């Protein structure tokens, strides 16, 4: 009985129009460079405040970690399909990995692209 009830509930929820849920997400998004946000409440990057250049951070990450992934999100919560697939494959083969979220700092993404 409980299983069929859960099945019915899930089926009805999935049948709801997607437009109905967009109103919820509209209020939960953040704009990091919003001019109306006081400076004390804006997100800060730990990398920017460390005094170390992004190039040095990328070099250090690559030297210290056998497998380093610069990904969208974090391994436990990837934010794109490619990142999720990469993490899943590495975990399947028990490869120890380190990761850094490039969505937190757009300049880090640029530094990774220029790294050789």
- For the whole prediction, is pTM greater than 0.85? no
Please state which of the four CATH numbers 3.40.50, 3.40.30, 1.10.3470, 1.20.1270 is assigned to the domain occupying 2-114.
3.40.30
In 3-state terms, what secondary structure has residue 99? Answer: strand
Average pLDDT over residues 83-91: 95
Closest CA to 114 of 44, 46, 53: 53
Q: Where are the domains of the chain?
A: 2-114
Residue 104 to residue 100: CA distance in whole angstroms: 9
What are the tokens at 48?
Answer: 């920017």
- Three-state secondary-structure class, residue 113: helix
CB 55 within 8 A of CB 47: no
Q: pLDDT tens across 22-78, in order?
A: 444 444 455 555 666 666 666 655 555 566 788 899 999 999 999 999 999 999 999
pLDDT tens digits, residue range 95-106?
999 999 999 888
């Amino acid at each position: 009985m409980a299983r069929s009830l859960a099945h019915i509930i899930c089926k009805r929820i999935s049948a709801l129009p997607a437009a109905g849920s967009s109103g919820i997400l509209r209020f939960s998004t953040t704009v990091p460079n919003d001019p109306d946000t006081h400076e004390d409440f804006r997100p800060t990057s730990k990398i920017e405040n460390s005094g170390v250049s992004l190039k040095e951070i990328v070099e250090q990450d690559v030297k210290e970690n056998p497998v380093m992934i610069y990904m969208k999100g974090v391994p436990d919560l990837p934010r794109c399909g490619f990142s999720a697939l990469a993490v899943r494959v590495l975990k399947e083969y028990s490869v120890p990995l380190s990761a850094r979220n490039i969505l937190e700092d757009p300049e880090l993404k640029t530094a990774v692209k220029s790294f050789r």
